[in-house]
Amino acid sequence: MEPARTIRVVAGVVGREGRYLITQRRPTAVLPLMWEFPGGKVETNESDAEALQREVKHRLGVDVRVGQLISFVTHPYERYTVDLYLYECTIAAGEPAALAVHAFQWVTSGDFDQYPFTPADEASMNKLLGMEPKV
C-alpha cells in the first residue's frame, strides 16, 4: 500500500472589527458546505504568500496582505494528508464577494462553534481562541 499523498494548503485569518472572515465550500466540493478560512492549495514553485493571494483573489475577489504564520496542523483524511499553514492576513483592496465559494461570513471567535468547519480548520481553532483580530 502506497503512502497517502500530502497536500500543502494555506489559509488566511482575516480580521475586521472583532470578526473573522470564513467561507463555505461549494455543494460539489470535497467536504461540501463545510466552513473554512479562505485559502487553498499551494502549487509547485509557488510561495505560501503567493498561493494565499491567488486563492483569496479567485474565491473572494479581494487582494490580501499576508502576515506572520499563526499555526500549522497536519490532518490525515482517508485518501490524503493536509498540511495546513494558517497566516494572519489583512484585506489590502476590495470587498469580499462569493465568487468561487458558496458563501462567506464575518463571525466572532465565539461564533465558530455554530459553523461546521473542515477537520483541518477545526484543528487550527485552538490557536485562534483568545487571539484578537487586528482592526
For residue 128, what pLDDT is reported?
A: 63
pLDDT digits (tens, 9 = 90+) for 62-102: 999 999 999 999 988 888 999 999 999 999 999 999 999 99
**2-6, 58-62, 82-86, 123-127: least confidently modelled range:** 123-127
Evaluate whether 17 touches 26 at the Cβ level (below 8 Å): no
Angle at 38 between CA 50 and CA 73, to 5 degrees: 85
| pLDDT confidence tier of residue 1, bands split at 50, 70 and 90 | low
For residue 62, what pLDDT is reported?
A: 97
For residue 132, what pLDDT is reported?
A: 41
Evaluate whether 56 touches 62 at the Cβ level (below 8 Å): yes
d(CA 43, CA 14): 22
Using a 10 angstrom Cβ sphere, with 0-12 exposed, 13-18 middle and 19 or more buried, the burial of residue 108 is exposed
For residue 27, what pLDDT is reported?
A: 95
Catalogue the E-assigned strands of 17-120: 19-24, 35-36, 39-41, 63-76, 80-93, 103-107
d(CA 4, CA 94): 38
* Residue 79, all three cell numbers: 485518501
For residue 135, what pLDDT is reported?
A: 36
d(CA 55, CA 115): 22
For residue 123, what pLDDT is reported?
A: 78
pLDDT digits (tens, 9 = 90+) for 21-61: 999 999 998 889 999 999 999 999 999 999 999 999 999 99
Evaluate whether 87 touches 68 at the Cβ level (below 8 Å): yes
For residue 126, what pLDDT is reported?
A: 63
